[in-house]
Amino acid sequence: MTDTLLETAVANWGPRFTANGVDASDYQRITASLTEWSGWCAAWSEGARDYLALADAALARGQNRSAGEHLARAATYFHFGKFLFVHAPDEARAACDAATAALTRALNFFEPPATRLTIPFDGAHLAGVLRTPTGRGPFPTVWLIPGLDSTKEELREVERSFLDRGMATFACDGPGQGEVEWHLPIQPDWSSVGEAVLRALRASDDVDDDRIGVWGVSMGGYYATRVAAAGLPIRATVALSGPYDFGASFANLNPLTQRAFQVRSHTSSLEEAALRARDFTVEGLAADIREPILIIMGAKDRLFPASDGQRLANETSSQAELITLANGNHGCANVINHHRPYAADWMASQLSTPIE
């Protein structure tokens, strides 16, 4: 393997893929077949189509639950085909549309149930999936925010942690993410995003207005922190591997991530993107966080230093708990059992949800 971009992708993202719905054998098989980055999206899209075929076969047998699982996995594979494939927008857009279509089909067969919601925002629509646990609502609800290159299609396993503990989940693409990236650029201030999402959630009979939390990963951790600092009716926040100051880390990011930020921030060059990245900071804002926040960082994170978590914890005006996992990589995807159950239990406690 001599392609630097391909080497970067394979070396960095294996744990993340397998922690979020990609079969480990599929990961090895698909990546082993590649010799250059230009073939990445096509290879993962082909893998996704294998699961679409499995879903169709399951439906023909009347096995709806299996069909939903296959469709959800297909959506995840299409997503991972385009997640950093920003140099070929037409190919990436086709994979994004295919991911959306597969997940939308899958929702009909999810257990617990799932509903697609679209929220008008800034001339476009934010797109998300609301899932509710078994039983009767309204339910305490956790808004799940993906990161720079993640989307709602990547969050099935995260949803499971909260659903199993009696909480509803809302995984939503925001500006510059997933379906919405084709219409709106990434933005540093998420107060208006938070207002729109919370308005929609609080209008749902399934959501307990007074018990809403927010969880975010990577840049989503930053966005969750900005929502928490905006004085919105959020009871608790989990920030997983989020940057304190994205601009300070920009020069050290791998070229795939830098380029993705450039494209999704609608900047014209890496130099302009580096300047724009400076706007993504919680400096001077962390003190506005009044509700409990759980901050989770990986000591071996190569994107955002673990010290970012300590700085955030020191500056909040709330009850802040910091967990730094010694072997954790970015997103702590290689140690999910050391933080996902704990974060879900922590959120359940903050939202006054009985934990069995």
Residue 60 CB contacts under 8 Å (≥ 6 apart), including other chains: none
- Which residue among the candidates 161, 218, 249, 265 is catalytic per the annotation? 218
Q: What is the CA radius of gyration of the chain?
A: 19
Q: Where are the domains positioned within the chain?
A: 1-111, 112-356
Domain 1-111 CATH assignment equals 1.10.540.10: no
Per-residue pLDDT of the chain (356 residues), as tens digits, is: 458 888 878 878 899 999 999 999 999 999 999 999 999 999 999 999 999 999 999 999 999 999 999 999 999 999 999 999 999 999 999 999 999 999 999 999 999 889 999 999 999 999 999 999 988 889 999 999 999 999 999 999 999 999 999 999 999 999 999 999 999 999 999 999 999 999 999 999 999 999 999 999 999 999 999 999 999 999 999 999 999 999 999 999 989 999 999 999 999 999 999 999 999 999 999 999 999 999 999 999 999 999 999 999 999 988 999 999 999 999 999 999 999 999 999 999 999 865 54
Tell me what pLDDT residue 1 has. 42
Superfamily of domain 112-356: Alpha/Beta hydrolase fold, catalytic domain (3.40.50.1820)
Cβ atoms of 156 and 150 within 8 Å: the answer is no
Q: Active-site residue 218, yes or no?
A: yes
- The pLDDT value given to residue 10: 83
Give the pLDDT of residue 352: 86
Place of tokens 């070396």: 11
- Cβ–Cβ under 8 Å, residues 242 and 225: yes
Q: Is there a shared CATH topology between the 1-111 domain and the 112-356 domain? A: no
Written as six digits, the tokens of 252 are 């050290």
pTM: 0.96
